[in-house]
Amino acid sequence: MMLVLATTTPGEAEIFASLQGEGASIGRPSVFVRLSRCNLACVWCDTAYTWRFAGDNRPHRDGIAFERQANQVMMEPAKVAARIAAFGVPRVVITGGEPLLQAPALAQMIAALPREMHIEVETNGTVAPSPTIDAMIDQYNVSPKLAHSGNPAPLALIPERMTAWAADPRALFKFVIASADDLAEVRALALTYAIVPERLFVMPEGTDSATLRMRSRWLSEAAMQAGWRFSDRLHIHLYGDTRGT
């Protein structure tokens, strides 16, 4: 069984150490593993190289079709685990793409990691974790996609999955916000699924510091008023919109 990973350059898997840039673990040293493939297609996705390959005409604002062979690499789970452990950092963030699409191989990778590692999974919230992998996860960073993502609600906001995540104390919700209009949708979801403010983050959409700062001004105030938590995108300010950061 193999894991399908994204790449930093052709043939080089996107496994790297950095500071977590978003959500509850922001600023924490982490090892990141970026997997390839996604079941959704956000028009503003900043990792479209994980899913928008030549022949995939799902919409994206950049309109770029990536060459699959240069942007995907297959590795044995145990070899990925060895690469992670070699960094000597006690936290791993598994991201994508949508990591839970590869749950069987992912479970093998996690099982091969040092037992003391803190395991975070970043997910769009549409895929149920298998019982095997669920028992291994310390934290889920769940990012349900709002209407402005371009994904139809029946695909992106599955009621049974939203209900399950809301009931799981390990799940922290992170909503990407592009305009003030998005806030009403967050309020409605928080009410429908009883998402407590302590577990609800709002984060500005953007891939450059100027856009993030502009949106943060009004979004931080909205978070204050609603009692939600605010998340910046630290890695964009530090490194820009680049792979392997």
State how far the Cα of 22 lies from the Cα of 230, in Å rounded to an integer. 9
State how far the Cα of 151 lies from the Cα of 98, in Å rounded to an integer. 14
Buried b (16+ CB within 10 A) or exposed e, 65-74: ebeeeebbbe
Helix, strand or coil, per DSSP, at residue 241: coil
With pLDDT > 90 as the criterion, what percentage of the chain qualifies?
100
What pLDDT sits at residue 104? 98
Q: CB within 8 A of 57, min separation 6: which ones?
A: none
Residues 78-91 pLDDT 10s: 999 999 999 999 99
Per-residue DSSP letters for 166-188? HH-TTEEEEEEESSTTHHHHHHH
Q: How far apart are the first and last CA of the chain?
A: 27
Buried b (16+ CB within 10 A) or exposed e, 139-161: bbbbbbbbebbbbeeeebbbeeb
Residue identified by tokens 């799940």 is: 171
Other beta carbons within 10 Å of 225: 9
Residues 52-73 pLDDT 10s: 999 999 999 999 999 999 999 9
What pLDDT sits at residue 70? 98
**All domains in the chain, ordered by first residue:** 3-239 (3.20.20.70)
Strand order across the 72-75 sheet? 12-13, 3-9, 72-75
- Give the helix, strand, coil percentages of the chain, each rounded to 5: 40, 25, 40
State which residues of the chain have pLDDT below 50. none
What pLDDT sits at residue 55? 93
Q: CB within 8 A of 9, min separation 6: which ones?
A: none
CA-closest candidate to residue 176, choices 99, 240, 230, 118: 230
- What are the residue ranges of helices labelled H in 125-241? 131-134, 153-156, 159-167, 182-193, 209-226, 234-239
Residue 186 · residue 141 · CB < 8 Å: no
